[in-house]
Structure 1
Amino acid sequence: MLSLLTIKNILLIDEVELEFKRGLNTLTGETGVGKSVLLDCLGFVLGWNNRSQLLRDEAKIGEVVAEFHVTPNSEVHSVLREAGINSEAAIIIRRSINKSEGRKRNFINDKSVSLDLIRRVSSILVELQDQTGNQILRQEQSHLSILDKFAGLGASISEIRKLWRKKFSIKAELDQEISQYESIKVQKDYLEFSIQEITDFNIQVDEEQKLDSKRKQLKAIEKNKEKFDEINKLLSSGELESNITRAIKLLDIIRQSVGDIVDKPISYLDQTLQDFDLARSETAILLDSQNFDNYELETIEERLFKLRALGRKYNVKTSELFGLMDGMASQLTDLNSSQNKITHLKQKLSRIDDSYNKMAGKLSVLRSKAAKQLDYIVVEELKYLKMPDCVFKTEILPVKIGSRGVDSVVFKVITNRGGEFGKLQAISSGGEMSRFLLALKVCLTDKEQGTTMIFDEIDKGIGGATADAVGRRLGMLAEHSQIIVVTHSPQVAAHGDHQWKVEKLVGNDQFPITNITELTPEERLTELARMLAGKEISSEALAAAKKLLG
């Protein structure tokens, strides 16, 4: 419920504070005094009106504040919780304009918020209807919402929306998985061939380095072959060994005459002979190991060439071929895993589709049943609203699946006997549209408790008994919610629980201002008389006004 509206320096309003009440609040005043200004201000704070020229002339700062009191079970609380805003007490929406800054600022409960959040919140708290019904009946897609609300399908709609979102999410994931799978699948043959080729090559760890080292060794042996042959010839001649042996024998003969002074040379020569023998043995072993094998060199060079060619083919170092093969194997594993995931997602999507189709079918049945009930109640209500020849029909048509099922809804009417059904928004006059809207609202009375409904000149194009019937129905609606009506009809105004008068005055700065005041019972009688008779209020007009008030 809108409990307080404060306006400062917006359009023609200098400063005003309006305490709206529960029930039917009517706003009246002469034509041109600015009743629409109030709705413009309300539209600004609720995010419906974001035009630039709102600030009152000569004012530097303007502001509109709307305070709401809502029931604990209102969905607006969950919306605000998501935004991190506490709404346990009142919900205060504030929008300001600063001329010097050239921008507007938005607040909910003193927290700076986006305009989108204000619009989302206000769409829950307030519903505006003008005499063309352009917020509901002119928008054909809203006909489905009206039928669903009448049928009490809120929980089912929430459920099918969850299924639709889940279906959409899984379908998107499935499409992405299939796309990735197709991308890898194109390379499958290449991956399998490459893995097999690298595997068949039987690469060893550090093989290139080992082969290159062996190749260099064999090349060195080939290059030093003549030197090894000469070494072998020198060590195998026996001349050095024979000469050392003869020298030892001669020293032994000399020893007989000179004594042990020759022992050291003999010892050294014996050691030299032993070292020579060891050196010759080791050299023989070395010579045996350095045998050059031309076939082995050719085999090594061929293997090394093929190994390096394989690395160049895959644009990696030969030492990285193992890692490349592992990566390719991982891609193939992912491909198989992707196939399994695709199968799983398809099964999951199929189950969601089944649940969605069942829920959509259930909704269609419930809507068809509710449509018949709605048609009957609206026709009966229209009789009360002085449209006895009118026929109302809710037409349900199949459409492409969506978040609310597989149905579209169009309200159709016959406004005159013998006529043909046509779309409500196409063939109804302004006054007829107003009464259709009101009839539908009566049908939804127990579904819209807690919402503030604003009707701007809903009585346009009607008068007398019809206006009185509209006023009575507005009064009945207001028993369960708050209704604010801008009206020119004294019959409608008389059914209000509270009446406000809108006047255009001249301010201290000689600029025109709009003034809004709540009327006392005496003032209300006078205002109704003015609405009946015009500027000159007669005793007959006062009597008629008194009669209207009952």
Structure 2
Amino acid sequence: MLSQLYIENIAVIEKTGIDFHPGLNVLTGETGAGKSIVIDSINAILGERTSRELVRTGAHSAFVTAVFSDLGEQAVHKLAEFGYAPEEDGSVMIQREIHTDGKTVCRINGRPATVSVLKEIGVVLISIHGQHESYDLLSPDLHIRYIDRMGVSEALLSEYRAAFSNMQHIKSALDAFDMDEAQKARQIDLLTYQVNELEAAGLRAGEQEELNKTRTRYLNSEKIASAIHTAQSALNGEESFDGALSAVVSASDALSETEKYLPEIHELSERIKNIRYDLEDCGEELRGFSSELEYDPADLERIEDRLDVLYRLGLKYGGSVENMIGFLETSKAQLEDIQLSDEKILQMTKEYQKAKAEAERLAKKISGCRREAARAFTKRVKEELRFLDMPNIDFQVQQEDCPLNPFGCDKLQFLISVNAGEPAKPIAKIASGGELSRIMLSIKTVLAGKDDIDTLIFDEVDTGISGSAAQKVGLKLHEVAGHRQVICVTHLAQIAALADTQFLIKKQVRENRTFTDVAELDYEGRKQELARIMGGAQITPLLLENAAEMLRLAKKHGSS
């Protein structure tokens, strides 16, 4: 739910904070005091479009912060989808800063976010219904979700979505085989040529590296031979000088003779003797390398030719031998698929028909559930509308068959007729703003406990009503608020009296500047405000007595 709202430099509001509570929160105040500014500020947090004109005159930027607590599972999942998570206490803070140059800065729990992310997350946090915000009711695409929440199990919907996805997957694979005979022949010729060329090359993983290594050794054989000869000379010596091995042998023999006179030199003698053996082993290894240096020039030519073949093939089929082998395997599989396409198509067609039949079975099952849910939903909504003094509105759920889609085989939309004898038409073409709010209030009452959004805002739901109708709207708002947080902007005392928490939005002029403040009212404050709503500027003792009576009756209704 929305726990805190902080507004700074939005229109006539310089700075104000509102601590909202569970249950029914009502905002009241004189016309033009700034109630719509609070709603505009909440809309800004929800990622809705804003204007630089919202920034208070003389300020460089405006700032709104909202803190949401006790997040629902849907909200937590939506946050995670964009890489965010609630704080340790389960809350999330959303901020938006609007600059006079049109720039906007958004943050979620202090981390940067975009306006589009705020909009995605906002729809699972708050639902606003008012003169211009009843998008859910105006969009037939969303009507089916209300009916599903009313009477279709999530398990059945999930089973259908899986079946529909499987059907689509098979259909996509089947479409890939759909080619005419000429196209098939061209594809077979191309793939056959590619497979034959690569198979004729006799590709072997690691061959290119081995050939390059041998080629490098052959091309540098003279340098290698010279280095080996130099090392051998240094070890074994030549006619004109003794080598290192001869010197070490002499040292080792001398020390061996000395050991009998100087036993302490034994360890050093052994170390030099080991060096002698190591040098003798090195000499043997050098002779081995020297014997391997000879090669047939024809071998180098064959290597060059083979590397050239691999290079040319690599330009066509992926560079490395490993990539070419992968290309070969893929081409062989594609060739086999095309050559066996008739059999494959027959097999996959059977699979598709089976998958489609299963999806259709589940879709029809869902459709039946929706038909039953729509009947119950229609009956309940009509009852709520009659309670709200809208007895002449005929509310219907139009359900038509349509091709299979991710939602099933139904096309649903809400129809209404506001005048007796007139045919029902799509709700977007008939209902006024006030009617939309009351219809949505009826729907929310019917769906109480089945909706995922924790906070509902009704902006001027009282448009065009008074007397007992206003009382009934207030009672219905209070009923809905028993299952979630409701925030309501109203001009009617009958609704305000039923609030669990009431806020006064008041405009004042100080030093030739207009300021709007928001204050939570205590009992005496509520009496004064209810009396003002009923009687205007002059508050009489009788009005205060009537206000107290309204609060007493509202408390009685709330506890009943």
- TM-score (structure 1 length as normaliser): 0.69
Partner of 2:83: 84
The alignment partner of 1:59 has SS state of coil
Query: Aligned in 2, Cα 1:191/1:534: closer, same or farther, shift over 3 Å?
Result: closer
Gaps spanning 5+ residues in structure 1: where?
A: 200-314, 317-322
Distance 1:354 1:458 in 2: 47
Distance 2:430 2:25 in 1: 31
Query: 1:48-88 CA deviation, whole Å, 9 max, x = no partner?
Result: 233343322222343211111134x5112122223332225
Query: 1:234-274 CA deviation, whole Å, 9 max, x = no partner?
Result: xxxxxxxxxxxxxxxxxxxxxxxxxxxxxxxxxxxxxxxxx
Distance apart, 1:365 and its partner CA: 0.5
The alignment partner of 2:21 has SS state of coil
Distance 2:47 2:138 in 1: 20
Distance 2:75 2:99 in 1: 29
Distance 1:530 1:494 in 2: 13
Distance apart, 1:17 and its partner CA: 1.1
Conserved? CA contact 1:400–1:406, under 8 Å: yes
Partner of 2:30: 30
The alignment partner of 2:85 has SS state of coil
1:444 aligned to which of 436, 442, 447: 447
Distance apart, 1:183 and its partner CA: 5.1
Distance apart, 1:384 and its partner CA: 1.6
Partner of 2:438: 435
Conserved? CA contact 2:195–2:328, under 8 Å: yes
The alignment partner of 1:454 has SS state of strand
2:386 aligned to which of 374, 383, 386: 383
Distance 2:327 2:507 in 1: 81
Query: 1:1-32 CA deviation, whole Å, 9 max, x = no partner?
Result: 00011112222221111100000001111111
Distance apart, 1:98 and its partner CA: 4.4
Distance apart, 1:143 and its partner CA: 1.8
Query: Aligned in 2, Cα 1:350/1:11: closer, same or farther, shift over 3 Å?
Result: farther
Partner of 1:18: 18
In the alignment, residue 83 of structure 2 is paired with which amino acid? G
Distance 1:17 1:181 in 2: 73
Distance 1:449 1:332 in 2: 52
Partner of 1:40: 40
Distance 1:430 1:189 in 2: 67
Query: Aligned in 2, Cα 1:494/1:184: closer, same or farther, shift over 3 Å?
Result: same
Partner of 2:521: 519
2:494 aligned to which of 491, 494, 504: 491
Gaps spanning 5+ residues in structure 2: where?
A: 200-311, 314-320, 554-560
The alignment partner of 1:136 has SS state of helix
Partner of 1:140: 140
Distance 1:363 1:158 in 2: 11
The alignment partner of 2:53 has SS state of coil
Question: Comparing 18-27 with 182-191, which one deviates more in the overlay?
Answer: 182-191
In the alignment, residue 374 of structure 1 is paired with which amino acid? F
Partner of 1:303: none
Query: Aligned in 2, Cα 1:389/1:43: closer, same or farther, shift over 3 Å?
Result: closer
Distance apart, 1:374 and its partner CA: 1.0
Q: Does 1:547 align with 2:546?
A: no
Distance 1:50 1:339 in 2: 60
Partner of 1:67: 67
Percent identity, aligned pairs only, is 31
Query: Aligned in 2, Cα 1:346/1:56: closer, same or farther, shift over 3 Å?
Result: farther
In the alignment, residue 188 of structure 1 is paired with which amino acid? I
Query: 1:513-534 CA deviation, whole Å, 9 max, x = no partner?
Result: 2211111111111111111111
For 1:498-537, what aligned pairs fall within 5 Å after superposition? 498-507=501-510, 510-537=512-539
The alignment partner of 2:137 has SS state of coil
Distance apart, 1:130 and its partner CA: 0.4
Q: Does 1:129 align with 2:129?
A: yes
Query: Aligned in 2, Cα 1:179/1:518: closer, same or farther, shift over 3 Å?
Result: farther
1:397 aligned to which of 389, 394, 400: 400
Partner of 1:296: none
For 1:395-474, what aligned pairs fall within 5 Å after superposition? 395-448=398-451, 451-474=454-477
Query: Aligned in 2, Cα 1:529/1:338: closer, same or farther, shift over 3 Å?
Result: farther
Distance 1:7 1:182 in 2: 69
Conserved? CA contact 1:454–1:484, under 8 Å: yes
The alignment partner of 1:470 has SS state of helix
Query: Aligned in 2, Cα 1:528/1:340: closer, same or farther, shift over 3 Å?
Result: farther
Query: 1:405-449 CA deviation, whole Å, 9 max, x = no partner?
Result: 111112223444444333333334444433322211110111126
In the alignment, residue 425 of structure 1 is paired with which amino acid? A
Distance apart, 1:193 and its partner CA: 9.3
Query: Aligned in 2, Cα 1:76/1:163: closer, same or farther, shift over 3 Å?
Result: farther
Distance 1:330 1:119 in 2: 44
Query: Aligned in 2, Cα 1:403/1:521: closer, same or farther, shift over 3 Å?
Result: same
Question: Comparing 341-350 with 359-368, which one deviates more in the overlay?
Answer: 341-350
The alignment partner of 1:370 has SS state of helix
Distance apart, 1:90 and its partner CA: 0.5
Query: Aligned in 2, Cα 1:350/1:534: closer, same or farther, shift over 3 Å?
Result: same
Q: Does 1:94 align with 2:110?
A: no
Distance 1:416 1:158 in 2: 40
Distance apart, 1:359 and its partner CA: 2.0
Distance 2:193 2:126 in 1: 68
Query: Aligned in 2, Cα 1:190/1:166: closer, same or farther, shift over 3 Å?
Result: closer
For 1:161-200, what aligned pairs fall within 5 Å after superposition? 161-176=161-176, 178=178, 185-188=185-188
Larger radius of gyration: 1
**Cα RMSD between the aligned structures?**
3.6
Distance 1:329 1:441 in 2: 59
Distance 1:535 1:121 in 2: 42
For 1:262-281, what aligned pairs fall within 5 Å after superposition? none
Distance 2:161 2:465 in 1: 41
Distance 2:181 2:5 in 1: 60
Conserved? CA contact 1:181–1:338, under 8 Å: no
The alignment partner of 1:112 has SS state of strand
Query: Aligned in 2, Cα 1:337/1:530: closer, same or farther, shift over 3 Å?
Result: same
Conserved? CA contact 2:27–2:502, under 8 Å: yes
The alignment partner of 1:387 has SS state of coil
In the alignment, residue 62 of structure 1 is paired with which amino acid? A
In the alignment, residue 394 of structure 1 is paired with which amino acid? V
Conserved? CA contact 1:61–1:98, under 8 Å: yes
Distance 1:429 1:160 in 2: 37
Conserved? CA contact 2:124–2:453, under 8 Å: no
Conserved? CA contact 1:448–1:481, under 8 Å: no
In the alignment, residue 512 of structure 1 is paired with which amino acid? T
Distance 1:180 1:113 in 2: 50
Distance apart, 1:503 and its partner CA: 1.6
Query: 1:343-376 CA deviation, whole Å, 9 max, x = no partner?
Result: 4665554444233222211110000011111122
Distance 2:180 2:48 in 1: 45
